[in-house]
Amino acid sequence: ISPSTLLLDGIMEEFENDTFGDELLLASLDSTVAPTQTPPANSTATHLPEYKPPTRSIFPSFPYSTPYPQQISLMQTVYSCLASAKCAVIESPTGTGKSLSLLASCLHWLLDHNEATGAHLALLRDDLKATVNCTHSGPDWVQAYAQRRERRLALNSAIEPLESQQSALCKVNKLIEEYSSSSSISMAKSGRTFSQLAREYASLFPDSLPSDGGRRAREAKPLSVREKTDEDEDKFLVASSLLEVGFPKDEEEEKEKEGSTDTRVLQIIYCSRTHSQLGQVLAELKKMPSLAERISVVTLASRQLLCVNQPVFSLKNAALVRDACLDLVGGPKQKNCVFRAKARVNALSELLIGARVSAHEAAAALRSAGREEKCDIEEAVVAAGCPYYANRAALPLAQLVLAPYQTVLVPGLRQASGLGTDGNLRDTVLIFDEAHNLLDAVAASFSASVSHADLASSGRLLGAYMDRYRSRLSAIALLRLRQLKQVAAAASASISGEFQGLAGQRRHRLDAQQRIRASVDAKETVYTTSEWLLVTGIDHINLDQLVEYLRQGHCLQKIIGFGKWFGSVRSRPRTKPTSATVGLSLSTCLEKLTGGPRRVVKEEDENVPSLTKKRKVVSAQAVEVSQNSDLESCGPGLIALLSFLEALAQSESDGRVIVSPVQVTGRTLQSDSDCVPHDGGLRFIILNPGRYLQDIVRDARSVLLVGGTMKPFEEFMEQVFRPAGKDDADVVLFSCDHVIDAERQLVIYSLSQSPKGLSWDFTFKNRMNPSLMSACGEFICELCEVTPGGLAVFFPSFDYLGTIWTHWKTTGLLQRLQNIKKLFREPRQSTALSQIMQAYAAAAMSRSGACIVAVIGGKLSEGINFNDDLARAVVLVGLPYPNVASVALREKINFLNRNFSSPPVTTLGSQEMGVNASRSEESARLTPGQLLCETVCMRSVNQAIGRSVRHAKDYAAIFLLDRRFSRKQVLNGLPSWAQPALVQPPPANLAALLNQLKEFFLRNKSDASC
């Protein structure tokens, strides 16, 4: 054998047995070349170690040693739902510690899940290490490698998100440990004293941290209100196109972060309607320090609430505050907001996470900073950055996020606030508290309204702006402003009665519309979005482009700022005759020279007396000054118009435009919404709010809808969960009893007639009966005589409350009531509510007690707790059915009947607890539209009932005054926990009723004192 042959054989042997080289070669081709052989069908290459969800039946962090059975059942159900990644509809009566139970179960699960995830991650890493180190030198090495490669890729895919979460969790724990390790943090740690901070800020931005206790800041005018000269006009010139605008400042900031990995902890997002309710949730969390000290919390709020730049938050309007804030971010150095410095914002964000300081506290501290010289390190750090942007920076590390409904429901707000990844809530846990109003809240979030006055003021402002800058505006800017003015004019004309004349040749298309509907009572008309655009003649305008242009480059803020400047300048008295022509636009000068609109008296009016001519000229000048001055107040109208256009641009097939025309006669137009003014207006509404929740339900790990009055559950199943792809088995339905003994601590009387035999018929056609209103007042007087403490009376509407109040005043019943108990009345305006409730609470605690009359569905029946002596008796007068004559309600009923099926006759779910089966059977006979009316009514009734019993030792008497309460369907609509308290049949006469009532109060007073 030749040497060359031996050499070749040696090389081939090394090549064939080079396992390490094979690994390198195949590894280099992983991303581009598939394995030559696929694993067999029964391969276990991708069978990874299973995640074992945590289990728990006790909750040691619950603040009370012995929770009620209802609370234990609720906590166990919630924990089980989260562990199995299911959704739930949960009904827990008000006063049962619902929020506390929710927090305890959710946070226990979160901590247990993080611990289990860490253990699971360790298993995956060990598996990956074993897979990488495994070698195979047999003849099937290609197939073995393919299996190892597939397993390695699967393991990496599973490990990567878990490592990201664990990394973020380590940051949270490190910050919490850092801030909790030292109970008192010295000023030396900051490197700067508070005085140095104050001086530094005073030199950069004098109005931010005044040394005079805030006097200069309060006296300073907002940026857009300060007096400007004619040389400042360029500030109000809008951009020529979106190319000039560039990216919004927030988007620029996001672009800087593109290279970084978005590390987020697993988040529980707790949503409620108002910031005050979120504050109550935070207070409940503080009752469990063993949980609160281990959890990072962020409370979301808008720029308007968190801004600490005095000239910006003084603008009041949320849209203007947003635009002004963005204008100060990323601009020239002399224009930057000093609170936006990145290092200071990051320092504050770490404080929010580590020390669990809320952004609201930070904003309040900074707004009042400088009043005291003594300040600890936390206050100094708070004074160093913007609370709004610090909140956003801290959000990825927040394990518990408290957010108002609207921030979570509206995709644009969700993305702007930083929730999820680009607004996507994948793998988060969502809890909607007070969810009985969730669908209404969604509808309100996507609705908009604009009045006739708003449209008129917008037209005037846009006209003045274009006259002023016409020669300096680019073609695209002028086009967009003309389009906006055209939309305002078309909408205004449709309200004022010139609707059909606008379309001209399109009138036959208006008549051809098959789905135009009008209400006979309100004279309102409802259209789909496309129908309304068609009949107003503006269907050729691209609303998306128009809205995008107006939202970019602070276009809206500039136009509104121009109106304030121009109105203030033009309304000043002119001292020199020549000053009248200074700064006028070309069109205005031509009008003056050619005898245009401002020349009131024409040459041919020679027979008009000179005195009359002078009066006309003076009157015209007065009108001109008035209109110029009016431009200062046109901003809100333009903002309302833009919001309306945004709603139209984002509308789906369930969107409707309701036109409330100007009332020509002297009669006041009766609208179905307080937001529609009497001079007419436009409303945009949505008919299927559930569809706007479907993306959230699909993306989130779990969605919990929690409230005190959630039944019928079928409404949420039909409109929210099933359309989102959830099977009935994926949604847990839960209902629990109250913590009170309903048979002993609650008594409910359903009365069909008055003590004198008059039928309690409070239907719409009979409720104005003077005898009925008098009988109602007399019965309440009798109850006041025997009821200790407070008595709350709820009427169906503010209008009927006003009518019956006037009748009682005329007949002397009002004075009779006031002689027995001090009388209070719920105000329409919520601003006076707090003061009235304080006075009522003080009077209810007195010996004679107090009586308050309110409205079902108002602030008192929904958001105020009448515990203990605040309401020992509750009277519900009539049933608050929605107004079926409302064009909006009629349209929604028709939509539901067309698109949804009636609920099944069987009970609503195998996992539902305590559900009244007879009620389900009754509901099955109703159409979806009828079920909506019943649900709206009974939820309002049950909310009012639930206000009176707030804890385990509380007690109250409930009186239902309406013959319709005797119907089985209505009685079955009462809460299941309250059914045992229903007295059937009621006492035969008034004396027997009052005797039973006295015994009830005496017995429970004795029990409560034990």
**Residue 618 scores a pLDDT above 90:** no
Q: Which residue has the higher pLDDT, 787 or 248?
A: 787
Q: Which residue has the higher pLDDT, 32 or 782?
A: 782
Q: Report the topology of domain 742-880+948-1009.
A: Rossmann fold (3.40.50)
Q: What share of the chain is helix, strand, coil (3-state, %, to 5)?
A: 55, 10, 35
Query: Helix H segments across 864-975?
Result: 887-899, 917-924, 928-946, 968-972
CB 480 within 8 A of CB 549: yes
| Tokens of residue 1004, six digits | 């429970």
| Tokens of residue 852, six digits | 């308050």
Angstrom distance (rounded) from CA 533 to CA 657 = 10
| Tokens of residue 52, six digits | 């074992």
Residue 991's contacts (CB-CB under 8 Å, 6 or more residues apart) are none
CB 90 within 8 A of CB 734: yes
Identify the pLDDT of residue 257. Answer: 46
pLDDT mean over 247-270: 59
Type of residue found at 543: L
C-alpha distances (whole Å) from 715 to each of 212, 438, 939, 977, 1000 are 57, 11, 13, 21, 37
**Residue 803 scores a pLDDT above 60:** yes
**Residue 552 scores a pLDDT above 80:** no
Angstrom distance (rounded) from CA 321 to CA 311 = 9
Where is mean pLDDT largest: 118-132, 623-637, 977-991? 977-991
Smallest CA-to-CA distance from 656 within 628, 682, 693, 695 is with 682
DSSP annotation of 821 = S
C-alpha distances (whole Å) from 946 to each of 48, 132, 694 are 50, 62, 30
Rounded mean pLDDT of the chain? 76
| Tokens of residue 120, six digits | 């699971």
By mean pLDDT, which of 335-344, 443-452, 601-610, 674-683 is the weakest? 601-610
Angstrom distance (rounded) from CA 837 to CA 825 = 10
Q: Are strands 429-432 and 655-660 parallel, antiparallel or unpaired?
A: unpaired
pLDDT mean over 523-535: 87
Residue 11 CA to its chain's centroid (Å):
74
Q: What is the pLDDT of residues 138-193, one digit of tens each?
A: 567 777 778 778 888 888 888 888 888 888 889 988 888 888 765 433 323 333 33
**Residue 718 scores a pLDDT above 80:** yes
CB 277 within 8 A of CB 404: no
Smallest CA-to-CA distance from 738 within 462, 951, 992 is with 951
**Residue 678 scores a pLDDT above 80:** no
pTM score, whole prediction = 0.79
Angstrom distance (rounded) from CA 745 to CA 1006 = 12
Helix (H) / strand (E) element for 431: namely strand 429-432
Q: What is the pLDDT of residues 585-599, one digit of tens each?
A: 434 433 443 444 333
CB 342 within 8 A of CB 333: no
| Tokens of residue 664, six digits | 């020509």
835 burial class (0-12, 13-18, 19+ CB within 10 angstroms)?
exposed
CB 561 within 8 A of CB 444: no
CA angle (1002 as vertex; 998, 1008 as ends), nearest 5: 145
Identify the pLDDT of residue 301. Answer: 87
Residue percentage of the chain with pLDDT more than 90: 29
Angstrom distance (rounded) from CA 678 to CA 717 = 38
Identify the pLDDT of residue 249. Answer: 45
Identify the pLDDT of residue 361. Answer: 78
Type of residue found at 200: E
**Residue 213 scores a pLDDT above 70:** no
CB 292 within 8 A of CB 285: yes
Kindly provide the b/e burial profile for residues 512-539, where b requires at least 16 CB atoms within 10 angstroms of the residue's own CB.
eeeeeeebeebbbbbbbbebbbbbbbbe
Identify the pLDDT of residue 19. Answer: 60
**Residue 567 scores a pLDDT above 50:** yes
Angstrom distance (rounded) from CA 706 to CA 703 = 10
pLDDT-based confidence at residue 722 (cuts at 50, 70, 90): very high
**Residue 105 scores a pLDDT above 50:** yes
Identify the pLDDT of residue 196. Answer: 43
pLDDT mean over 270-291: 88
**Residue 829 scores a pLDDT above 60:** yes
Smallest CA-to-CA distance from 164 within 121, 129, 128 is with 121
C-alpha distances (whole Å) from 172 to each of 128, 385, 401 are 27, 20, 14
Domain limits, the chain:
449-572+625-686, 742-880+948-1009
Backbone angles phi, psi at 517, to 5 degrees: -130, 145
pLDDT-based confidence at residue 232 (cuts at 50, 70, 90): low
pLDDT-based confidence at residue 753 (cuts at 50, 70, 90): very high
pLDDT mean over 960-977: 89
pLDDT-based confidence at residue 211 (cuts at 50, 70, 90): very low
Identify the pLDDT of residue 139. Answer: 63
**Residue 782 scores a pLDDT above 80:** yes
Q: What is the pLDDT of residues 895-952, one digit of tens each?
A: 999 988 765 543 333 334 333 334 444 445 778 888 889 888 998 888 888 878 888 8
Query: Helix H segments across 845-927?
Result: 859-863, 887-899, 917-924
